[in-house]
A and B are shown apart, each in its own frame.
Chain A
């Protein structure tokens, strides 16, 4: 129908109608390679080191010793968990950029249990409480903007964003009471001696339970999204709310229900971070992962395997960047720049998955 154009440009972008999965992967791979080259060029430019050394440093940082490997796995698991949590909301086209806040609230509740519940009950029961209540906290944090979205069409992007900072101040408030040592303005490692409320060692690794939990949730969410009636309903709502109404789906209910799930998983991620790895709480407990996970979920197109791969890749680059930062005397924020560059390339690649260059005049439709 677009017959208004007069001048035929030298090249045009046309929509690919039949992108195969392998073609799409190809485009994305090219983007990753390009981003790696650009990153290496920048690091080389700054440090004067050869790119080969830079990448060896990155690999060393991510996989250099068993401890580093475990850290890489742990971080991947957390990022994956958050991305999985965001998936139902995004499938419904609900822009939950409040994962940071939901994680913080989950983490806060976990820390509270660790502090107040220690030595009052067996560790196993404490852990159960931690997991359930952290999910509940995240759920509450997620459902508030959903209710307003459902009934008043309040912009969820800005609402969830603001709630992140409300959550941060609540954390700051809690730190006042939990401060240890006094005057440090940090909570310190909670229960460092008794390890009450810490995830136990499992499967031979410190972070075994983290991995197990994340795997379970990932599988459950995948099944929920692909096989359950509720998952189907939320997909329909995301695609077209008119069609949803046509088949008599209660759109308001679906929005609220979906955000409860999304928020709960992000809250659980808070527990995995606090009880499962950092054993402390601060405003940087979420550390921007709530935002990175958005990009992970968006790029993976809700495919759990793709999410795992993308999460692993980001964490690999970040851990690597931390290593080269120390190795070459840079500061650790280099990893954010690298993450940013990779993000730009991979985001841009999505366009080229959908469109391709076509030179010359268009054929008559």
Chain B
């Protein structure tokens, strides 16, 4: 074993049911280096890292930490090996201070009290050049300060291997610069660091080496100085794979909806969408590409009327091109059981969610929804014991068929779907693709957010790319290339504030 390796993963495989999240992955982190892990959504980066942080346990493979083969069974094991992971979703108590969060659950140095802890944490802050007021409560902090607290928490617990999962996703360019300065400082102090990211320019800027994952497999690790943006993109997206999705020419496309200058802020006041403008047409599928969390969710919700927006306009048009308020919009949200369906209700009741208002008088008409439910179950071959089964008991694919089936059954003029095949097996996925195509051929305007670039390229007519909450390009799906879309997705909009 090479003593110079902080972490070495050999042949790691992890399956979730029939899905292979990591397929015999090898990875090496050298002592005192910054390693970037690059890959699309669903390429298995986070799963791999979760095996280092003790959240998952690998099905196969070996794991070496500082040259010694080890088994990590729990977050505690991981932490005792000096591995600290900074997750995308912070685990902090809002009403506590940084120091209080850092010492939570620790047994050691209980004697000193909070004053002693504060002193040590101040030392850490000074040593690495963090920008943090230790007496401030978490709820008063910006996202970047919260992230700082997470890093300090890990350092305070003695980690010398740090894993950062998409740390810059929530940061402004200035904050990113500060974070990178801190990372370089930590590297200078002998820490080994893994950073998961999508942004190529950041990879080039901060890392010593880059490891690329694609569809659960390790594609290779190269020195950053030998890498170029083109080369990394190619490694990441790979060759175009033919999927054989039937794509017809758009049928008489007409403007159905136009969005102009749309901006949305989230509850923390961070701008999620910035000045979005595009139009979608009837009889065509508009794909939305982009790393998840780049505003896709907010965009669809804003169109569906579920998200307040700060500025901009959303206009709908009828067949004659006149503006109309009256547009039947169907929406398949990402969170199927938390938003689109009620898990504890049966299929019929879930059908009724959309149609119950149409019942005449005070009472519910259950026969209508029951017929719809039966029709959908039959036509989409939904596997369920009966129509009275609670939806949450169905498999993921069948849940999605119930949801998509219901939304299509409304005969929408605009159909929006978010991650329609996430968690679905191949067959169910094709059922969904075909349904989307059918709708397109019926003259419905379809907007879909899909992670898989190959699918986007074969299914859609046009592809709009979102990055950093902005539209970085709208491409013709028939002529564009995977590399081009990949580049647009990585476009972090340099020099932009907020």
Q: Which residues of A contact B (CB under 8 A)?
A: 3-6, 17, 227-233, 235-236, 239-240, 242-243, 245-248
Contacts and interface: CB of A to CB of B under 8 A. Distances in A.
B77 to A, nearest CB: 8
A229 B54 contact: no
Nearest to B51: A3
A236 B353 contact: yes
B339 A242 contact: yes
Nearest to B362: A228
Interface stretch (B171-179, B311-319, B341-349, B446-454): B341-349
B359 interface: yes
Contact of A245 (B75, B306, B343, B357): B306
Interface string B355-396: 011010011100000000000000000000000000001000
B419 to A, nearest CB: 16
Contacts of B343: 239-240
In terms of DSSP, what is the predominant structure of the interface of chain A?
A: helix
A243 B341 contact: yes
Nearest to B333: A246
A233 B359 CA distance: 13
B354 interface: yes
A239 B335 contact: no
Contact of B356 (A5, A229, A242, A245): A229
B340 A229 contact: no
A283 B161 CA distance: 66
B352 interface: yes
A239 B342 contact: yes
B96 interface: no
Given A4-B73, A4-B74, A247 B362 contact: no
A231 B349 CA distance: 12
Query: Sorted from nearest, which 4 A-B pairs have the closest CB atoms?
Result: A239-B342, A242-B339, A6-B73, A4-B74
A229 B393 contact: no
A4 B339 contact: no
B56 interface: yes
A150 to B, nearest CB: 18
B352 A232 contact: yes
Contact of B362 (A5, A17, A229, A248): A229
Interface string B319-344: 00000000000010101001111111
A231 B362 CA distance: 10
Contact of A240 (B75, B339, B356, B357): B339
A4 B333 CA distance: 31
Nearest to A227: B363
In terms of DSSP, what is the predominant structure of the interface of chain B?
A: loop
Contacts of B259: none
B340 A243 contact: yes
A357 B392 CA distance: 23
Nearest to A2: B55
A227 B364 contact: yes
B128 interface: no
Contacts of B342: 236, 239-240, 243
Nearest to B366: A227
B71 to A, nearest CB: 10
Contact of B353 (A4, A6, A243): A243
A17 B393 contact: yes
A32 B57 CA distance: 43
Contacts of B344: 239
Nearest to A6: B73
A245 B78 CA distance: 41
A92 to B, nearest CB: 13
Given A227-B363, A227-B364, A232 B339 contact: no
Contacts of A248: 305
A242 B359 contact: no
Given A3-B56, A229-B359, A243 B338 contact: yes
Contacts of A232: 349, 352, 356, 364
A220 to B, nearest CB: 11
Contacts of A236: 342, 345, 353
A228 B364 contact: yes
Contacts of A242: 335, 338-339
14 contacts: A4-B55, A4-B75, A17-B393, A229-B356, A229-B363, A230-B362, A231-B364, A233-B356, A236-B345, A240-B342, A242-B338, A242-B339, A243-B353, A246-B340
B345 A239 contact: yes
Contacts of A243: 338-342, 353
Contacts of B354: 247
Contact of B57 (A3, A17, A239): A3
A362 B107 CA distance: 31
Contacts of A4: 54-55, 73-75
A17 B339 CA distance: 22
A236 B340 CA distance: 11
A235 B350 CA distance: 12
A312 to B, nearest CB: 28
A232 B74 CA distance: 43
Given A4-B73, A229-B356, A240-B339, A246 B306 contact: yes
Nearest to B16: A1
B336 to A, nearest CB: 10
A239 B341 CA distance: 10
B489 to A, nearest CB: 28
Contacts of A231: 364
Contacts of B362: 228-230
Contacts of B304: 246
Interface in B88-122: none
A5 B54 CA distance: 10
Given A3-B57, A246-B306, A228 B363 contact: yes
Given A17-B393, A239-B345, A6 B74 contact: yes
Contacts of A245: 306
A227 B359 CA distance: 11
Interface in B445-472: none
Nearest to B352: A232
A4 B71 CA distance: 12
B193 to A, nearest CB: 24
Contacts of B364: 227-229, 231-232
Contacts of B341: 243
B395 to A, nearest CB: 13
Given A4-B54, A4-B75, A240 B338 contact: yes
Given A4-B73, A232-B364, A239-B343, 6 more contacts: A3-B56, A231-B364, A233-B356, A236-B353, A243-B341, A246-B333
Q: Which of A5, A6, A230, A243 has the most CB of B within 10 A?
A: A243
Contacts of B339: 240, 242-243, 246
A345 B342 CA distance: 31
Contacts of B359: 229
A111 B349 CA distance: 44
A208 B212 CA distance: 79
Interface in B189-241: none
